[in-house]
């Protein structure tokens, strides 16, 4: 039977992992369990939960720095920040809807481990860039701590960057210090209806290149737009291209007008005010247009200039519906359920256009038979195995979650 351990301190977590390594016991690290279905299917003899590690250790609004324990809910962190007019700059997404789960369970440890940033990623630092200090426990049971000017471990690794996006395969996060950003005084959204995918990518990239405070660029094809909670957009029956501007109250009107002028060649422009803008981007952050279904779901990162080529290339082989974020740099792609979830066709196109594709949602049988994460080139694979050997030499952490042999 899988036992669940709930350490209340770093030394207790270190003891659990040291024992697991000594005994060769496979261990899964969980926080809010919101991303449990992300990755390859796996089994573990023991689960270590950060449920008890939920405190906000400190918050300095003047220095824009917050220190929290790994199990702290994103909702609790943001509630504290909003009260002081600040926010997490990387705008973490909530993936619960993808798997038919209730949102609101995501923890900061899971966000860092998955490296899943939201639409504002295009305008500011990524998750790893926001980490200014952390404490973690390696698979060996060794407590690792970085902070301030100390950013590298004894082996020369930048620990914050190594652990960001490692999916719990190298170490268990205990505590993290994050740089935060001020909340914008005003949010506006320009909506363009009916653009084709290729033209929408052009419009989004052009808007992002302006100096007018664009911090979100999203395009939804009609099947995706038809799922929006926002009635006025859902009922249009057309594709929706949304451009978010975040500025001070004083500068917002002028910047908005200049951007509208720059985009007038793309057709009629519709404007959402602050309240409606916040509502729309909140639901996009919850991935409301990607509800759980029997379709397979991929997350593809590529150059915005290649986005339409990627989607149209895949569409030559299989029918797909696309949700473009980051001006096309991030594509959520729904494909029909099949024996390999479209992996053969998607990998073929990505190999020619460039990028990375991750299979997010499919049956366990499919996930066990194909590469869920992007296959590694030989040099990257050697480095990844080196990291695994340093941090988790017995291979007990999240065994096989990312790759079958690691």
Of 221, 250, 285, the position where a domain reaches its end is 285
Range of the domain at 220: 186-285
Beta bridge partners of 203: none
pLDDT band at 153 (very low <50, low <70, confident <90, very high): very low
pLDDT tens digits, 159-185: 888 899 999 999 999 999 999 999 999
Of 251, 285, 319, the position where a domain reaches its end is 285
Lowest-pLDDT range of 41-45, 255-259, 262-266, 354-358:
41-45
Q: Which residue has the tokens 């935060």?
A: 180
73 and 104 share a domain? yes
238 and 362 share a domain? no
pLDDT tens digits, 93-111: 999 999 999 999 999 999 9
Of 143, 164, 182, the position where a domain reaches its end is 182
Of the chain, the percentage scoring pLDDT greater than 90 comes to 89
The predicted model gives 254-283 an average pLDDT of: 96
Model pLDDT, residue 406: 79
Model pLDDT, residue 161: 86
pLDDT tens digits, 9-22: 999 999 999 999 99
DSSP for 349-393, please give it. HHHHH--EEEEEE--HHHHHHS-SSPPPPHHHHHHHHHHHHHH-T
Q: Distance from first CA to last CA of the chain, Å, rounded?
A: 23
How far apart are alpha carbons 236 and 221 in whole angstroms? 12
CA distances from 372 to 11, 38, 121, 298, 400 (A): 34, 9, 23, 9, 11
224 and 268 share a domain? yes
Tell me if 43 is assigned to some domain.
no
The predicted model gives 79-91 an average pLDDT of: 96
Model pLDDT, residue 2: 74
pLDDT band at 84 (very low <50, low <70, confident <90, very high): very high
81 and 174 share a domain? yes
Does pLDDT of 150 surpass 50?
A: no
CATH of the domain at 348: 3.30.70
pLDDT band at 147 (very low <50, low <70, confident <90, very high): confident
The predicted model gives 197-207 an average pLDDT of: 97
The predicted model gives 301-317 an average pLDDT of: 97
DSSP for 22-56, please give it. HHT--EEEESSSTTTTSSS----SEEEE-TT---E
Tell me if 7 is assigned to some domain.
no
173 and 123 share a domain? yes
pLDDT averaged over every residue in the chain: 93
What's the total number of domains in the chain? 3
The predicted model gives 57-73 an average pLDDT of: 95
175 and 204 share a domain? no
CATH of the domain at 74: 3.30.465.10
Model pLDDT, residue 250: 92
How far apart are alpha carbons 240 and 233 in whole angstroms? 7
Give 263's contacts (C-beta < 8 A, 6+ positions apart). 190, 192, 203, 206, 207, 243, 269
**Between 182 and 124, residue with greater pLDDT:** 182
Asked if 219 and 240 count as a contact pair (C-beta separation under 8 A), the reply is yes
Tell me if 392 is assigned to some domain.
no
Does pLDDT of 148 surpass 60?
A: no
């Amino acid at each position: 039977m899988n036992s669940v351990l709930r350490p209340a301190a770093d030394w207790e977590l270190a003891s659990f992992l040291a024992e697991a390594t000594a005994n060769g016991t496979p261990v899964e690290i969980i926080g809010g369990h919101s991303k449990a279905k992300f990755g390859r299917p796996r089994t573990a003899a023991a689960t270590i939960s950060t449920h008890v590690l939920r405190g906000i250790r400190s918050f300095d609004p003047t220095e824009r720095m917050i220190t929290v324990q790994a199990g702290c809910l994103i909702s609790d962190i943001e509630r504290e920040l909003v009260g002081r007019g600040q926010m997490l700059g990387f705008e973490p997404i909530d993936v619960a809807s993808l798997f038919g789960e209730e949102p609101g369970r995501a923890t900061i440890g899971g966000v860092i481990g998955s490296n899943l940033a939201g639409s504002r990623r295009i305008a500011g630092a990524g998750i790893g860039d926001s980490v200014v200090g952390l404490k973690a426990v390696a698979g060996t049971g060794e407590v690792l701590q970085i902070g301030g000017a100390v950013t590298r471990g004894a082996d020369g690794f930048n620990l914050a960057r190594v652990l960001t996006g490692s999916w719990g395969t190298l170490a268990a996060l205990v505590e993290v210090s994050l740089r935060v950003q001020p909340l914008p005084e005003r949010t506006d959204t320009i909506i363009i209806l009916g653009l084709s995918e290729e033209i929408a990518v052009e419009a989004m990239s052009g808007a992002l290149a302006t100096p007018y405070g664009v911090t979100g660029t999203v395009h939804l094809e009609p099947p995706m737009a038809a799922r929006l909670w926002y009635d006025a957009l859902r009922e249009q029956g057309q594709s929706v291209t949304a451009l978010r501007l975040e500025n001070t109250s004083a500068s917002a009107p002028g910047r908005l007008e200049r951007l509208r002028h720059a985009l007038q060649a793309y057709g009629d422009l519709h404007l959402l005010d602050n309240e409606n803008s916040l509502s729309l981007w909140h639901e996009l952050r919850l991935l409301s247009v990607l509800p759980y279904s029997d379709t397979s779901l991929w997350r593809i990162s590529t150059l915005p200039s290649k986005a339409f080529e990627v989607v149209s290339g895949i569409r030559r082989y299989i029918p797909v519906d696309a949700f473009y974020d980051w001006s096309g740099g991030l594509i959520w792609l729904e494909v029909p359920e099949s024996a390999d979830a479209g992996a053969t066709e998607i990998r073929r196109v990505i190999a020619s256009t460039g990028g990375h594709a991750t299979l997010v949602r499919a049956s366990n049988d499919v996930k066990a038979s194909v590469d869920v994460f992007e296959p590694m080139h030989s040099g990257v694979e050697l480095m990844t195995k080196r990291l695994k050997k340093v941090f988790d030499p017995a291979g007990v952490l999240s065994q096989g979650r990312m790759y079958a042999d690691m």
